[in-house]
Structure 1
Amino acid sequence: MLLQLDMNSLLHNMRAQIQAAPAAEPTVERKFNKKVEIVTDPGAFEGDRAQFAEWWIKLQIWIKANWDAFTDNFEIAMAVLSRLKGPVAGRYAQVRMQECYTAGVWPTWDDLKVEIKKYFIPQAERDWACQQIRTFKQGNMRTDDFVTRFMALSIQGGLGNEHAVELLERNVSPAIARQLYIQDMRSENFAAAAEEHLLWSVAPARQTLGCLILAKIK
């Protein structure tokens, strides 16, 4: 009987302690931190547009992993906009936050993704292409492959005609560039210059393929 009383007393005390204990706090911050341990916070975008595409992908993954931690559009928008730094991205974020605060309306995640992609990605891709084309040397690459890839980078980077011709002559095989100078076949038109470089390729089949590609682009 005494043992039963002691057991009842113990259960009563345990129940009282459980009821008196503070409730668990599944706050945004606690859930947020738990998720961050699994998916690393990509940090801030510091304004280097060449790095934007990679940062943007990581941020979207991070947002998705922490989705339950955000209670509304405001928290998601602030998590994104507050990570945009630098003279251009930082200014954009500052203006958008002020606009949203004044209007009292914050964009949904889907709308924010469209907005940021429209604002940043085209310029980021152009900057990346311009950076790549400056150091894109032919080396041992087949001439038609080189010219095709070079033209793709030129179009993506939005290079002007004169600049594209200059880079093409600088980056193509020295043997081809030398023959063009000797034969006085240099052209100020980028498409024509690319075709002339193809004509000095040693493989006729590659010349044909390259010229067909150029004809389609023209």
Structure 2
Amino acid sequence: MLSQSQPDVNTLLHNMHAQILALTTQLTELQANPTAAARSVEKKFNKKVEVVAGPGTFEGDRVATAVLSRLKGPVAGQYAQVRMQECYTMGVWPVWDDLKVEIKKYSKPQAERDWARQQICTFKQGNMRTDDFVTRFLALSIQGEVF
């Protein structure tokens, strides 16, 4: 016996059949007129697009703000936060060319400098020829900016 609250199996099948027919009709219409479907998809897509301008479209302090606000990662993010705070406090913003040089100097070469300095600390001549040892030592000292 069925209780009053449970729907009949035939009713469920009938409702599912109606939904399948509606979806099949909708699919047939979309296949017949794909440009209308493309427009609706394009409309939804355009709502989700974020426009990011390049630094060349800004001038002065807006360049620095635009670039620094987009730096990501633990090291670059912390650097950007500190640098922006300095700029806000002092009221002086770097020029785009100076900012590029500063960012390059701060990010990648720091690891190379640290590595080179560590190599110098543990560097031994051993059975290496003297001129090779001096050449390698000078190369590491230049890379580590020791002198």
* TM range, smaller chain: 0.3 to 0.5
The TM-score normalised by the length of structure 2 is 0.43
The TM-score normalised by the length of structure 1 is 0.32
Structure with higher Rg: it is: 2
